[in-house]
Structure 1
């Protein structure tokens, strides 16, 4: 009965793929580096915002991703390059400590939209994987249902990871937040460079 409404294979494959790409536990250091000095209520709000932004972006691309990219004439390599450059700017801010000088309101917006919501969570990798899964579904309702459930499940786990990251803050204190920010900056820089390298490779292969 379940197979008539839900493709278990597609669900498991999509869930594992998106979980590895989005990496909810791996986003905690960056989240702490950006929100560690905020109040508990502000961190909770940022966790909800970042998760909802990521869910909304991935959902939009699941429904109309291929049409959007085709209409704008954008390929996956261009998406990867743009995401890489944006993340590189964020990494430089984290490594130099310039993010602490931003106004509180602007910092809240950045946490929700950039870099957490996109391109770190709903980035080129997650978008490309979602579009591929939609293509493979080939109009089959059980496959579409499985993909939708996988996307929601990953984001529920993501919300839990971000929402309860405050427990870590109580342990590592102020100096730990600064250290985490530097480590997060280094990791984000590495992700950015990898995205740019993948973009260059994609352009070369397409030439």
Structure 2
């Protein structure tokens, strides 16, 4: 009733796309300045939002895209543009302003979506669900999805220990580095979407 190959393949794919080690500095940058209790809650909220989005697209993904007449490349380009706007805020220090950091729940956007539940993860899950054979295949696919989100939660939950070590100056440095990394991810996502459009035309 369990296919190790299917589980391992999807888990590794999601690990590379969702990148728990890479999300750590971005999570720290976006949640800096908040109480530890709030940061822990935001880590859980971000994972819950990501899982909810992934689950919906896993069950109804192709139907949703078809109904909205949205192609996968369009989804990738839109996600890339949204990430690029967030990356520019991190690079320019706008997220350091209290009005930006205190009033906005970054656990929903951009952490939950599109950072964790981005176009790459959504497409991978849609394809995995469609290609899974029988009950064992479906169980393996959903087990991989759940396992990946548990890894994401543990990574973000315990990354908060890093803040206690690096202090405020370190947080500023991490914020700038996170902005640079995120901008590169965003541009690559846009390039991938444009490349697919060109290939499909």
Report the TM range for the smaller structure's normalisation.
over 0.9
Partner of 2:152: 158
Q: Can you give the 5+ residue segments of structure 2 that lack an aligned partner in the other structure?
A: none
Matches within 5 A, 1:98-177: 98-101=94-97, 102-107=99-104, 109=105, 111-138=106-133, 140-177=134-171
| Segments ≥4 residues shifted beyond 6 Å | none
How far has the Cα of 1:36 moved from its partner? 2.1
Could you report, residue by residue, the CA deviation over 1:110-154 in whole angstroms, capped at 9, with x for unpaired residues?
x2111110111100110011111112114x111110010000001
Q: Select 1:197's aligned residue among 178, 191, 201.
A: 191
Matches within 5 A, 1:53-68: 53-68=49-64
Alpha-carbon RMSD across the aligned residues, in angstroms, is 1.0
Return the TM-score normalized by structure 1. Answer: 0.94
Could you report, residue by residue, the CA deviation over 1:20-76 in whole angstroms, capped at 9, with x for unpaired residues?
111112111000001121101110111011000000000111000011001111111
Could you report, residue by residue, the CA deviation over 1:164-201 in whole angstroms, capped at 9, with x for unpaired residues?
11110111100000000000000000011001111111
Please tell me whether residue 78 in structure 1 is matched to residue 65 in structure 2. no
* Distance in 2, Cα, partners of 1:119 & 1:198: 16
How far has the Cα of 1:103 moved from its partner? 4.3
Please tell me whether residue 26 in structure 1 is matched to residue 22 in structure 2. yes
Equivalenced residues, count: 200
Q: Can you give the 5+ residue segments of structure 1 that lack an aligned partner in the other structure?
A: none
Return the TM-score normalized by structure 2. Answer: 0.96
* Distance in 2, Cα, partners of 1:190 & 1:19: 18
